[in-house]
A and B are shown apart, each in its own frame.
Chain A
Amino acid sequence: MELIDLLIKIALIIVIFVISLVVAMYSTYAERKIAAFFQDRVGPNRAGPWGILQPLADGGKMFLKEEIIPTNATGFLFIVGPSLAILTACIGSAVIPWGQNLEIGGRVIPLQVTDINVGILYIFGVVSLGVYGIMIGGWASNNKYSLLGAIRAASQNISYEISMGLSIIALLMVTGTLSLGEIAKQQHGFWADGYFSWNVFKQPLGFLLFIVCAFAETNRSPFDLPECETELVGGYHTEYSSMKLGFYLFAEYINMFISSAVMATLYFGGYNFPFMDLIHSPNLVAILGVVALFIKIFMFIFFFMWVRWTLPRFRYDQLMDLGWKTLIPLAIANIVLTGIFMTFFK
């Protein structure tokens, strides 16, 4: 690999990293504003105009607070927990195609860090590793509530991973490839060969299953049982304070961002937007594509928050029932239906 290519890659990685951190930071602000809107309040409005400096104030508070490590905690693992949580949240962005190739001065710059041909499985693996951060942190705190939260997180993640994987299998039957870049390319434009080209119109049930599982995997309400305040004090991060707590909360928002990006790429056409063939400059299409992808991502993030401030939390046995007795049979039925449809109508 040439040096200049390497530099471009590194720059791309840094840009993506910064963007996901900034989006996660402002998601906290957006969440509080949206919560305020839903509850007919004003929300944060003191730090800067309309309170837009609120995330910085929060971050400053997190950094400056006293760092408490409980005496009975397992020292090293107590620190590893939040670090692992944020690490697994961040590395998922490596395979997401953020846009079409840019061409600057005859040099083609792909807006994707790496297009490995097992991209979806990579995302899946990273998601399944995410539970380690929570489990290690919960166990190392040496607190009953933390441990219960960690156990809940683990069983919830494993249960919902199954139906997530099954819903992806149905999608793979349609696309015929595991590479995310290829899947995004296939959904070009909005209308092709007499039908919508976005996968959500080919896999509506699969998308529904996937989004429910995404809620469960990111531990968002209505599936936020691992950190359920009314039962478990703070859940797995009961004993955490200062920036370690901040890492856990931050990891949740980054996870939300990454899973929104994955959903947008897999089902909602990724960087494609309607009437993109009418624009003739490829660079303009690429830039507009990035904008379109981010609009989709923000809509998903809004949806996550909308659900959180609308629906009450599930009870734990209801959560398990939904996962095992409803979603998995539905996902299997979806695979069978997709197979029948592909055999007889194509």
Chain B
Amino acid sequence: MSTFYFIAFLSIFFSILVISAKNPVHSILYLVLTFFTFTIHYILLNAQFLAVVNFIVYMGAILVLFLYTLMLINLNKEAEPVKPFMVKIAAVFGGGILAVALVSSLKLLGVSDPVVLKNPDLGLVKNLGKVLFNEFLLPFEISSVLLLSAMVGAVLLATKEKEPKATI
């Protein structure tokens, strides 16, 4: 039980560091740590497949891609232009109000039942695979089209336009 609260504290702590770190590279590294705590949350919920996929997809691929892009384009340019102080205050205030509104409205619900793992096999690969390839087969196939189009789009966007050949 206390494990959850400790990990939850770490998640919140690191995610605050993500948005407050001056250097974008540090931000990304804090985000890696945040996602690592999320992986631990998944393991605590016995969602093994999601834990490992979170590990591979988010920490291993997406964030490496972020880091890669940042290193590629922003070499040693430390100073990120900062917003005016008032705007910052307003931003923190707005986000804080959103959090307070969400939490306080949920507070009205009262204490709910504890999360009990009714079916320990729920998050295992075997079980998820069966659900994925029976009920969700069509969305699964469509998501492959999504990924393909994203790949084509990314390649198309990132290639340099060729200079039109000079005609003599």
Contacts and interface: CB of A to CB of B under 8 A. Distances in A.
Check whether chain A touches chain B (CB < 8 angstroms).
yes
Interface of A: 77, 116-118, 121-122, 124-125, 127-129, 131-132, 135-136, 139, 142, 147, 150-151, 154-155, 157-158, 161, 178
A136 B70 CA distance: 12
Contacts of A121: 49, 52-53, 56
Contact of B76 (A122, A142, A161): A142
B125 A131 contact: no
Contacts of B64: 128, 131-132, 135, 154, 157-158
Given A118-B125, A121-B56, A128-B56, A147 B61 contact: no
A243 B29 CA distance: 24
Contacts of B71: 135, 139, 147, 150-151, 154
Given A139-B25, A178-B125, A128 B59 contact: yes
Nearest to A72: B76
A32 B125 CA distance: 44
A118 B48 CA distance: 8
A128 B61 contact: yes
B21 interface: no
Contact count band on B: 20 to 34
Contacts of A118: 48-49, 52, 125
B32 A151 contact: no
Contact of A158 (B32, B55, B61, B75): B61
A178 B124 CA distance: 11
Nearest to B52: A121
B124 A117 contact: yes
Nearest to A144: B75
Given A129-B59, A161-B60, A117 B125 contact: yes
A136 B56 contact: no
15 contacts: A117-B48, A118-B49, A122-B52, A125-B55, A125-B56, A125-B60, A128-B60, A132-B32, A132-B64, A135-B64, A151-B71, A154-B64, A157-B64, A158-B61, A161-B61
B52 A129 contact: no
Nearest to A148: B71
B8 interface: no
Nearest to A130: B60
Given A118-B48, A125-B56, A151-B72, 4 more contacts: A118-B52, A125-B60, A139-B71, A161-B60
A127 B125 CA distance: 20
Interface in B9-59: 25, 29, 32, 48-49, 52-53, 55-56, 59
B65 A158 contact: yes
A130 to B, nearest CB: 9
B68 interface: yes
B52 A125 contact: yes
B122 interface: no
From DSSP, what is the main secondary structure of chain B's interface residues?
Answer: helix
A2 B75 CA distance: 54
Contacts of A155: 68
B7 interface: no
Nearest to B54: A125
A128 to B, nearest CB: 3
B61 A136 contact: no
Contacts of A117: 48, 124-125
Residue among A132, A136, A150 with max Cβ neighbours from chain B (10 Å): A132
Contacts of B29: 77, 136
Across chains A and B, which 3 residue pairs bring their CB atoms closest together, nearest first? Answer: A128-B60, A125-B55, A121-B52
Contacts of A127: 60
Nearest to B126: A117
B67 A135 contact: yes
Residue among B52, B59, B60 with max Cβ neighbours from chain A (10 Å): B60
Residue among A77, A116, A117, A125 with max Cβ neighbours from chain B (10 Å): A125
B70 to A, nearest CB: 9
Interface string B117-135: 0000000110000000000
A270 to B, nearest CB: 21
A128 B54 CA distance: 12
Residue among A77, A118, A157, A161 with max Cβ neighbours from chain B (10 Å): A118
A169 to B, nearest CB: 13
Contacts of B75: 147
B55 A116 contact: no
